Amino acid sequence: MEISWDELNRQIAGCQNCALCRQIHHKVPGQGNPQARLMLIGEGPGRDEDEQGLAFVGRAGQLLTRMLAAIGLSREEVYICNVVKCRPPDNRTPLPEEAAACLPFLRMQFALVRPKVILLLGATAGRYTLGEDFRVTRDRGHFVQKGGVWFMPTYHPAALLRDEAKKRDAWEDLKAVREKLKETE
């Protein structure tokens, strides 16, 4: 049985499967085009996202919006979400049990969107989609195909704000995503 967007959003809103939900303002399920060809997966909401209930709206999100525009895409054309839907305290990396509690939601989002390409933003997104041995510095920039979908891991925009030297690699990854999207038309 396929779930609807309304039902998925109700499940996320009512989720109490881990302790993250106890200290947040808003859950951040994700947003964008529900039939997007490109899906972006990040780690989890930050302070701005928690306050607004929207994914990638803070400084890293503003950079992500510019990155997408550089390859000719708007936020409205893609679907953006995170591994966890609630902000971890102090923006720490989600604990394995927290990620495990949200992974069914991420799988449902994937099943509803049915993207051709997924851009994995950072180590956490890579680890929970490509496997525990994933390392962003080693594995970024290389497509992995799983179940007919192309996964491209790259640096998280927050990492680019901390270390501008990584921007060149991220730009190469984005150009590769643009080309892969053209190939899958």
Q: How many domains does the chain have?
A: 1
How much is the pTM? 0.97
Tell me whether residue 18 is in a domain: no
For 129-170, write each residue's pLDDT tens digit: 999 999 999 999 999 999 999 999 999 999 999 999 999 999
> What is the rounded CA–CA span in Å between residue 22 and residue 18?
8
pLDDT at position 4 is 95
Interacting residues of 88 by C-beta distance below 8 A, sequence separation 6+? 20, 44, 94, 95, 98
Question: Confidence band (pLDDT; 50, 70, 90) for 88?
Answer: very high
Helix axes 167-183, 59-70, angle to 10 degrees: 50
Q: Read off the CATH number of the domain in which 157 is found.
A: 3.40.470.10
Whether residue 141 is contained in a domain is answered as: yes
Give pLDDT tens digits for 25-83. 999 999 999 999 999 999 999 999 999 999 999 999 999 999 999 999 999 999 999 99
Q: Is the dihedral of CA 11, 12, 18, 21 positive or negative?
A: negative
